[in-house]
Structure 1
Amino acid sequence: MPAANVGSVIDHEAEIERILDGPPGRLAFRALCGVLGRAGSPGPLVERCEQRLAVWPDEVREAPWSWLAALHAGHSRPGWRLARSIALKSLHYSTVDPPFPDPLTQPEFRAITGLDLGSFAADQLAAVVRDLPHWESLRSLRIGFLTEMDGELVADFAAAPGLARFEALNLIDIHEDMWHFEKPPFRPPAGRPLRLRHAGLRAPDLVSLLRSDLVPRLRSADVLVCSAGEARDLAACPELAGVERLAIGFRCGRNGSQPLWEPFFGNVIAEDDEAAEIFFGQADLSGLKALTLQGTPMGLGREGLGARGVAATAGLLPQLTELTLTQLPLGDGPLTRVLGALDPERLEKLALVDVVATDVTAAAFPGSFPRLRRLDLSRNQLTGAGARHLAAEVRFPALAHLDLSGWTSSPYYSRPAVQPIGDDGARAWAGSPHAAGLKSLNLSATGLGSEGLLALLHSARLASLAELDLSGNRLAGWPADVPLPPTVRTVDVSDCGLDDNAIRALTSSGPTPALTAISLAYNTIGTAGAQALAVWDALPGLWQLNLYDNVIGDDGLTALATSRAAQLLVELDLQQDCWNSARRPLAEPLPAEVVDPASFPNLDAIFLGVVDEYHGARYSSGFPPHVREQLATAETTRPELVAFLTHLELSEQETGTGGDRDFRPTAAEKHREHVAEAREFARRMREGAPG
């Protein structure tokens, strides 16, 4: 649905209704709050939003880091009343986290129901324990990587009366490898039952809760098992029969060996296999519907249980509606047996992620999965043949989410792990009858090229597609007069080799009425490309525009800002890496139009300046030091810019050329090498020669 009356004047109530009628999401929530603020936040309209938002999950009603930073700088966003969670950490280089929220003195936080404190966040947990009586609505808390040094803190938390109102609690991250530290025990006092429906704990802590009858409502658990004895003790708990969702990581042994910067099969840990056999052989999991087995990454491979461990789940698999196996050294033999044991008539979600699956695994899929909505085969070794088989030979009438991606990150300092399905695999799915219901399609880092892109864009099958990720592929250009699917809401074409000509073709290809977010990071967009974006008919409806690490000059930035078209944009990223050969000189300020409140009136977050990704440092805020200080203290500076400028950890420099490590000159050649390497590795894995 197109944005309502965007331009110089917005019908605020119509725009709010449009957002509320659409799918829930974090970005949608921020867009709604931005328009609500511009409407003056009248009481009846706020109340109507509150009523309509009641059906949205609390985790998507998230106040972003920028709101927290703005609040610390003295500016309270009008959406706080509607927020139910907070992004406490920034994902951007050298940004400083504001002080931890204080619900006693800051009423903005009293409606928050969930906190994700992140990793190694003992100080934040201590603040929660201290202020728990004032977190009136808090029902969910997550923290990872606590250590034995946090024992007293965890004991205080376990004894806190406010714990009794929690419904979900994670004191572990299921991805933790447990190599370097022990966990402090979590032992709430006996005789005080908890309301927990979900718990994430070390196995001894979960055993203690179950045996003490403290969690009679428990239906979901994440657990780390670190020995065969722990596996046996946990399996002996009859209360597991009531658990419907279980994510388990066996951390009973370790290897750690790996070839340097080469893909490899991984390390099977015999101790993990043994513990898995004990646990799944003895536990009563008769109520289980969803199972996750989580290994650990090891360089360009993975480490954890292998064939024996996963075989121990065989008797359990037929009853599952969801199965996730991730970062495990399994390969085709164990995976084909898993597929043979599942009940295709029952399964709704299947994720086999980074488990060394090849086309042999794809060929082992049964003929029909009538209820499967999510299929994730990312970070494996499928080629076009495997993708073709799945698209043509297996029936997925309910499929809504498909992920066949590899893995990609910064092109400056990391190498992708390509899953080489290529143009052949993309064409197969573009023409598949099972693509008709797809809402999201992820083909990031798959060796996709211009032919595959053209097939996707021409596909009449992708009539329901809302999310499309093509990042990490060398598309090199964009086909003329071929628009994005009209239903697409978010597009990621980061690091795709797009230049000004490609952006001209994209922006002139036709209407994109549903588009709300696009990432164009790590491309070669210059002034002409920015000028094309400035007149793009999609710009008035965008909520997020990511132009990170492009090569846009002042004329392009000014054109984008002065077009006044981006009336609904809530987040804009114009940062560059220090090795970008065309990056802005450190002492040269950005054009004033970029930060003029009239240019992007709905923004709640803006990210500017020059960063050093490799060292995690920041060399510029987008302005010389004296200009930054003036902007940060001026009463007329927009709040989101003040929030950004006052929460930076700067290693400011006045000069510096950089550019001799720009990835762009060799990107196409390296991409070909990575795809060739991935195809060779996939061949070796298919032939059973892990090396």
Structure 2
Amino acid sequence: MDNDGIDRILAGPPSKIAFRALCAAIDRAGNPPELIAKCAQGLAAWPDSAREAPWSWYAALAIGHSKATWPLVHALDVSVKHCQLLDVAFPDPRTRPEVRQMTTVTVGWMMSDRRVLDSFTDSLAHWPDLREVRVEYLSEHDDEMLARFAEHESAPRIESLSLITLGDSLLHSGLPTFRPPAGRPWRLRHVAVSGSDLAHLLRSGLAPDLRSADVLVRDLDEAAELAACPELARLERLGIGFRCGWNGHSTLMDLFAGNVIEQDNDACEAFFATADLSGLRELTVLGVELVLGRHGLGARGVDAIIASGVLGRLTALTLELLPIGDATITRVVDALDHERVEHLALADLVATDQTTAAFAAGSFPRLRHLDLSRNHLDAPGASRLAAEVDLPVLEHLDLGGRVGAIQGYYQNAVQPIGDAGASAWATSRNAKNLTHLNMSCCGLGVDGFTALMMSDQLAALATLNLSCNPCDGWPAALRDAPVWRTLRTLDLAGTGFEDAEVENLTLVGEAPELRGISLAYNPIGSDAARALARWAPLPQLWELDLHDTVIGDDGLVALAASQAAQSLLELDLEQDCSNPHARHGRQLPTEVIARSSFPSLDAMYLGIVDEYHGGRYYAGFPALVREQLAADPSTRTELLAFLAHLDESELSDTGPEEGGVLRSSRTRADHLAAYYSRVEKAREFIQIVKESTVE
């Protein structure tokens, strides 16, 4: 890539994938120091969170392979995102100068080193630029480690400290205690802790600059204790989750409204009745996710929030995973200042089309972000939002259904807006500024796909998510769709695409902004791979997700040997063990791992995995070949990093024993029939919700 290409990345939208693409371009240019210095200047305007290196960089560093672009990295997160790979030893800046300039560090829980926080504390003085720390998976058993960290002389300079996750259910562990010693004020502007710890920080004066907090409240007394702190008035942003009870009811694979927890309602009433939130501008209230339902406070708790008067002062509101229903959501929307609100997420709240009536004939002149995902809207509701509401500056719209965390094992919960709802948005005046549109798992078919792709209104669209809408075609005419002029990422995972759809997709000759496409979890084979190898936009793609497809050796060789994927950053050819076409015991072609095939790769993930149990049964090559590759000095770094961190406890050269669960080899017609049966069940559930009282 020439310098003009690097300049385009620096001038484009910041993101983690764009940062990786920039570093790959520098590497292809030979890593000249003057180019790295130029890029450092250009990256100064990027958020540090975007300047994050992937896990594979740390895995390579751990086995002695550094990169010239490490000085550009500002964010460190070594947690493993793929099945059955070993932890990378947490890097110590005293021995790893590559990480000394980090401003953001995530200290994750490691199977190999439960006391990784102690190791981090020991090195704390040697992170001179550190400003943000996230510590994952702490429990009440980690108080001693956390106390050592809190007492360290370098800790008070941290400006953002997250010790809990707002979405944690607290079912399996308690929360740690964070009580820094008195007399040394911290620079904290954001903290994520328990309710009692936040109350302590506020009352003690240890965090005079605190303006943002995420907090989990565990009982009524803790809610009252926190509400009594007058220092809450300084907060501009608050995320809160009430975790005061649990009844454990779940219908597992059937849709249901969820569980209202009265103890959560009590605590929410106590908090919002007396807390001084006069400075608050952003509020998040989060419940707990069950398999296909929600768990947390209900209408009474939300009514207490409304009665506090805080909603009318907000510019951003997120309510998520709460079993509250249409009537309560309508009261929330009515309580907002429509002239002020800029970000509104009402996700997974048992909303139906009746909720959209609260928006109808209204105007939201500053609303840029609207999220109504994982609810139960149908076509009339989506159409009403598109046609009857004035959203002149809307940029981000999420109407997606609930997509299962593990494809193929959990049924998705459709939000059945269907082709009619998609068509309404394709022609809506409210779509003209949209840059992000999520219609995953919405019951779309060919007509919905076509309406969105051919829309003249979606003239600014950069991200389109159509995943988990099993579809029986991708018309060849879409090669001339207007959306290709602006689209940067297209998600077609789990759409049931076969080779013919991909061949039609690759008729597109020009998509100047396209950088990523996902075809994961689709039964595409070698003909599709050959079509991709010939695709004109392929050389510009940073992401091409082929996870759990069924491409054979000849297709993989065609894709690799074409040497067209010059900018591809990650190669994921993993298949789930339930895939009836998984490559159990079959060695990948050598062309796939040749450096010349994919010259920009910084990560490789290969083999057979068990996504349900988190295992890995095969690694793409038998043990003897893996040993040869590891000993060969010509083996590319990305493959070495993968091989060096395999957990071999379940690896086999032949795959899992007979009797493993395989997906059915049903025809496309069978899959479509099953999918549309779920769409109809979703619509039947909508009628049940409308006829019942969620509250």
TM-score, normalised to structure 2, is 0.95
Aligned-pair CA distance for 1:661 = 2.1
Aligned-pair CA distance for 1:614 = 2.4
Which residue number corresponds to residue 607 of structure 2? 609
Structure 1 counterpart of 2:99, from 84, 89, 109: 109
Is 2:346 the counterpart of 1:352? yes
Cα–Cα, structure 1 residues 308 and 194, in superposed 2: closer, same or farther, change >3 Å? same
CA contact (8 A) 1:568 1:601 kept: yes
Equivalence map 1:156-555=2 (5 Å): 156-314=148-306, 315-366=309-360, 367-409=362-404, 410-483=406-479, 485=483, 486-555=485-554
Aligned-pair CA distance for 1:689 = 5.5
Which residue number corresponds to residue 629 of structure 1? 627
5+ residue gaps, structure 2: none
Instruction: Tell me how far apart the structure 2 counterparts of residues 630 and 654 of structure 1 sit (CA, whole Å).
Output: 15
CA contact (8 A) 1:579 1:658 kept: no
Structure 1, 674-683 or 286-295: larger mean CA deviation: 674-683
Which residue number corresponds to residue 68 of structure 2? 78
Instruction: Tell me how far apart the structure 2 counterparts of residues 258 and 436 of structure 1 sit (CA, whole Å).
Output: 41
Is 2:594 the counterpart of 1:596? yes
Aligned-pair CA distance for 1:151 = 1.3
SS in 2 for 1:169: strand
Instruction: Tell me how far apart the structure 2 counterparts of residues 510 and 449 of structure 1 sit (CA, whole Å).
Output: 24
Instruction: Tell me how far apart the structure 1 counterparts of residues 590 and 173 of structure 2 sit (CA, whole Å).
Output: 50
What do the CA deviations read for 1:461-494 (whole angstroms, capped 9, x no partner)? 1111001111111122211131351211111100
SS in 1 for 2:476: coil
Which residue number corresponds to residue 662 of structure 1? 663
CA contact (8 A) 1:256 1:298 kept: no
SS in 1 for 2:146: helix
Which residue number corresponds to residue 639 of structure 1? 637
CA contact (8 A) 1:400 1:437 kept: yes
SS in 1 for 2:115: helix
Aligned-pair CA distance for 1:145 = 3.3
CA contact (8 A) 1:581 1:659 kept: no
Instruction: Tell me how far apart the structure 2 counterparts of residues 117 and 254 of structure 1 sit (CA, whole Å).
Output: 29
CA contact (8 A) 2:325 2:694 kept: no
Aligned-pair CA distance for 1:310 = 0.7
Structure 1, 100-109 or 612-621: larger mean CA deviation: 612-621
CA contact (8 A) 2:502 2:528 kept: yes
SS in 2 for 1:451: helix
CA contact (8 A) 2:167 2:241 kept: yes
Structure 1, 377-386 or 137-146: larger mean CA deviation: 137-146
Aligned-pair CA distance for 1:446 = 0.7
Aligned-pair CA distance for 1:116 = 2.1
Instruction: Tell me how far apart the structure 2 counterparts of residues 645 and 145 of structure 1 sit (CA, whole Å).
Output: 27
Is 2:552 the counterpart of 1:570? no
CA contact (8 A) 2:580 2:664 kept: no
Instruction: Tell me how far apart the structure 2 counterparts of residues 170 and 614 of structure 1 sit (CA, whole Å).
Output: 29
Instruction: Tell me how far apart the structure 2 counterparts of residues 280 and 251 of structure 1 sit (CA, whole Å).
Output: 16
1:382 corresponds to which letter in structure 2?
L
Instruction: Tell me how far apart the structure 2 counterparts of residues 538 and 441 of structure 1 sit (CA, whole Å).
Output: 22
Which residue number corresponds to residue 676 of structure 1? 680
Which residue number corresponds to residue 649 of structure 1? 647
Instruction: Tell me how far apart the structure 1 counterparts of residues 103 and 598 of structure 2 sit (CA, whole Å).
Output: 31
CA contact (8 A) 1:144 1:172 kept: yes
SS in 2 for 1:116: strand
What do the CA deviations read for 1:34-58 (whole angstroms, capped 9, x no partner)? 1111212212111111111011010
SS in 1 for 2:69: helix
Instruction: Tell me how far apart the structure 1 counterparts of residues 642 and 365 of structure 2 sit (CA, whole Å).
Output: 48
Structure 2 counterpart of 1:37, from 13, 22, 27: 27
Which residue number corresponds to residue 7 of structure 1? none
Which residue number corresponds to residue 56 of structure 1? 46
Structure 1, 461-470 or 146-155: larger mean CA deviation: 146-155
CA contact (8 A) 1:581 1:660 kept: no
Structure 1, 659-668 or 563-572: larger mean CA deviation: 659-668
Aligned-pair CA distance for 1:333 = 1.0
1:532 corresponds to which letter in structure 2?
A
CA contact (8 A) 1:359 1:686 kept: no
Aligned-pair CA distance for 1:652 = 2.6
SS in 2 for 1:312: helix
Cα–Cα, structure 1 residues 260 and 28, in superposed 2: closer, same or farther, change >3 Å? closer
1:343 corresponds to which letter in structure 2?
D
Structure 1, 208-217 or 641-650: larger mean CA deviation: 641-650
Aligned-pair CA distance for 1:256 = 1.4
Identity of aligned residues (%): 52
1:389 corresponds to which letter in structure 2?
R
Instruction: Tell me how far apart the structure 2 counterparts of residues 37 and 584 of structure 1 sit (CA, whole Å).
Output: 33
CA contact (8 A) 2:324 2:694 kept: no
Which residue number corresponds to residue 691 of structure 2? 687
CA contact (8 A) 2:471 2:672 kept: no
Structure 1, 465-474 or 180-189: larger mean CA deviation: 180-189
Instruction: Tell me how far apart the structure 1 counterparts of residues 554 and 201 of structure 2 sit (CA, whole Å).
Output: 63
2:293 corresponds to which letter in structure 1?
G
Instruction: Tell me how far apart the structure 1 counterparts of residues 498 and 290 of structure 2 sit (CA, whole Å).
Output: 36
Aligned-pair CA distance for 1:438 = 0.5
CA contact (8 A) 1:293 1:324 kept: yes
Instruction: Tell me how far apart the structure 2 counterparts of residues 182 and 414 of structure 1 sit (CA, whole Å).
Output: 28
Count of equivalent residues: 680
CA contact (8 A) 2:509 2:535 kept: no
Structural RMSD (CA): 1.6
Instruction: Tell me how far apart the structure 1 counterparts of residues 590 and 169 of structure 2 sit (CA, whole Å).
Output: 48
SS in 1 for 2:618: coil
Instruction: Tell me how far apart the structure 1 counterparts of residues 108 and 251 of structure 2 sit (CA, whole Å).
Output: 31
SS in 2 for 1:161: coil
What do the CA deviations read for 1:553-585 (whole angstroms, capped 9, x no partner)? 111111111111111111121111222222224
Aligned-pair CA distance for 1:660 = 6.5
CA contact (8 A) 1:201 1:222 kept: yes
Cα–Cα, structure 1 residues 583 and 467, in superposed 2: closer, same or farther, change >3 Å? same
Cα–Cα, structure 1 residues 187 and 387, in superposed 2: closer, same or farther, change >3 Å? same
CA contact (8 A) 1:445 1:470 kept: yes
Instruction: Tell me how far apart the structure 2 counterparts of residues 622 and 681 of structure 1 sit (CA, whole Å).
Output: 44
Instruction: Tell me how far apart the structure 1 counterparts of residues 24 and 508 of structure 2 sit (CA, whole Å).
Output: 29
Higher relative contact order (CA 8 A, sep 6+): 1
5+ residue gaps, structure 1: 1-9
Structure 1, 376-385 or 644-653: larger mean CA deviation: 644-653
